[in-house]
């Protein structure tokens, strides 16, 4: 097992109260596995990603739980060791909207050199060689090191970000909405690329998006989040073919499919809760058509079904 996350809690201490961005999340990930993380905007997907690489923006903080990488306890590790040994080297992240974060005044090559300066003692020649190799890996011509961000298309910039996340050859990459801003053709190219890296390098990946169709294309396992918690987690075939949690069911029914004609799309009336003051009991109960009395009073506990999936629901629809 590569990664084990147990009851992780990351909260934001704002002047208007405590926002429970991630509120008791547990899962595991094997080497070479892709975990897809889905859920509506604001449910805590990015916060979970930031927690794993320990870059939660203030006023946020990990307040509970454990993260273990290859048996190494990351939550208790001091920041110096984490920076030297783990961040970028063993776990890296492609940030949401990152391609727009490329600095317009520096060349691509200059920006790709940065990680080497802080995290390795590689010589400049070694670094250059490695940059060239990784650019080729993501299907870019190594000569683009001399170009500036505005001279690249969106898909090319996104590939540069992927190459940067891979530079120090980490075990785990967290990709936060890496294809959301791109059109379908570029999107498919990037997904193909990530599949290839998984196959060839045995890369483990946490792929974050609210687009469940994209997750189906790449994930071995799916975790569906709602209001700071995972509500259902299992093999992606099982979840897609037979979703059990009412929230997962609604989410899947809301996807229009290009090769079928559907007459009416389902949607979930109401809005996700305010995470500074989530509803008691099951957080989904105000929007759930299956809610019964206990759903309003008691938080559902973890249940493992015969097919191996984990689900949190008092009244699993049959």
Ligand X SMILES: Nc1ncnc2c1ncn2[C@@H]1O[C@H](COP(=O)(O)OP(=O)(O)OP(=O)(O)O)[C@@H](O)[C@H]1O
CB of 271 to another protein, least distance (A): 4
Q: In Å, how far from its chain's centre is CA 106?
A: 28
Q: Rule CB under 6 A: is residue 45 a binding residue for ligand X?
A: yes
- Look up residue 92 and give its two tokens: 């890296």
Residues touching ligand SF4, count (CB under 6 A): 14
3-state secondary structure of 102: coil
| Residue 222 near residue 211 (C-beta atoms within 8 A) | no
- Residue 12 binds what, of another protein, ligand X, ligand SF4, none (CB under 5 to 8 Å, by partner type)? ligand X
> Using CB under 6 A, which of 19, 131, 212, 252 touches ligand X?
19
Closest by CA position to 48, among listed 11, 14, 99? 11
Strand order in the sheet with 91-94: 91-94, 172-176, 204-208, 34-38, 221-226, 229-235, 310-311, 303-304
In this complex, which beta carbon is closest to ligand SF4, that of residue 141 or of residue 266?
266
8 to 42, 226, 272: CA distances (angstroms): 17, 15, 21
Interface with ligand X, residue 206, by CB under 6 A: no
Q: Among 3, 25, 44, 166, which residue interacts with ligand X (rule: CB under 6 A)?
A: 44
132 binds, among ligand SF4, another protein, Mg ion, none (CB under 5 to 8 A by kind): none
Q: Residues near 286 by Cβ (< 8 Å), separated by ≥ 6? A: 270, 273, 279
Q: How far is CA 193 from CA 64, 101, 162, 313, in A?
A: 35, 21, 10, 36
Where are the alpha helices (H) located in the chain, listed in sequence order? 45-52, 79-81, 108-119, 124-137, 154-166, 184-201, 212-218, 236-241, 246-253, 293-297
User: Which does residue 69 touch among ligand SF4, another protein, Mg ion, none (CB within 5 to 8 A, set by kind)?
Assistant: none
Window 253-292: contact mask with another protein (x via CB under 8 A): -xxxxxx-xx-xxxxxx-xx--------------------
Residue from 10, 46, 51, 158 in contact with Mg ion (CB under 5 A): 46
State the Cα–Cα distance between residues 131 and 235, nearest whole angstrom.
35
Contact window for ligand SF4 (CB under 6 A) among 74-82, 175-183, 189-197, 241-249:
241-249
Nearest approach, Cβ of residue 205 and ligand SF4 (Å) = 28
Which one of 94-102, 126-134, 189-197, 245-253 is the stretch in contact with Mg ion (CB under 5 A)? 94-102
The residues that touch Mg ion, with contacts defined as CB under 5 A, are 46, 96
The residues that touch another protein, with contacts defined as CB under 8 A, are 40-41, 153-156, 182-189, 191-192, 195-196, 210-214, 216-220, 236-237, 240-241, 250-252, 254-259, 261-262, 264-269, 271-272
């Amino acid at each position: 097992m590569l990664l084990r996350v147990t009851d992780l809690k990351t909260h934001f201490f704002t002047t208007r109260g405590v926002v429970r961005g991630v509120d008791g999340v547990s899962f595991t990930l094997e080497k070479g596995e892709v975990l897809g993380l889905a859920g509506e905007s604001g449910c805590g997907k990015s916060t979970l990603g930031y927690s794993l690489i320990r870059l939660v923006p203030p006023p946020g903080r990990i307040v509970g739980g454990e993260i273990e990488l290859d048996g190494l306890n990351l939550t208790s590790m001091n920041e110096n060791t984490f920076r030297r040994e783990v961040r970028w080297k063993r776990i890296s992240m492609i940030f949401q909207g990152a391609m727009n974060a490329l600095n317009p005044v520096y060349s691509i090559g200059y920006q790709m050199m940065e990680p080497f300066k802080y995290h390795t003692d590689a010589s400049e020649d070694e670094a250059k060689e490695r940059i060239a190799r990784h650019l080729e890996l993501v299907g870019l011509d190594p000569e683009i090191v001399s170009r500036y961000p505005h001279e690249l298309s969106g898909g090319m910039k996104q590939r540069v970000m992927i190459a940067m996340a891979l530079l120090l050859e980490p075990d785990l990459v967290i990709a936060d909405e890496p294809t959301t801003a791109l059109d379908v053709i570029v999107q498919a190219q990037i997904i193909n690329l990530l599949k290839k890296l998984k196959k060839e390098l045995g890369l483990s990946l946490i792929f974050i998006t609210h687009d469940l169709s994209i997750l189906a294309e790449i994930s071995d396992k799916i975790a569906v989040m709602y209001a700071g918690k995972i509500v259902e987690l299992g093999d992606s075939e099982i979840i897609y073919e037979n979703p059990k949690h009412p929230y997962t069911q609604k989410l899947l029914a809301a996807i229009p499919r290009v090769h079928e004609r559907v007459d009416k799309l389902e949607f979930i009336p109401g809005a996700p809760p305010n995470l500074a003051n989530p509803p008691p009991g099951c957080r989904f109960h105000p929007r759930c058509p299956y809610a019964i009395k206990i759903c309003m009073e008691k938080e559902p506990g973890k249940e493992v079904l015969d097919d191996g999936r984990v689900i949190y629901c008092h009244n699993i629809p049959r």
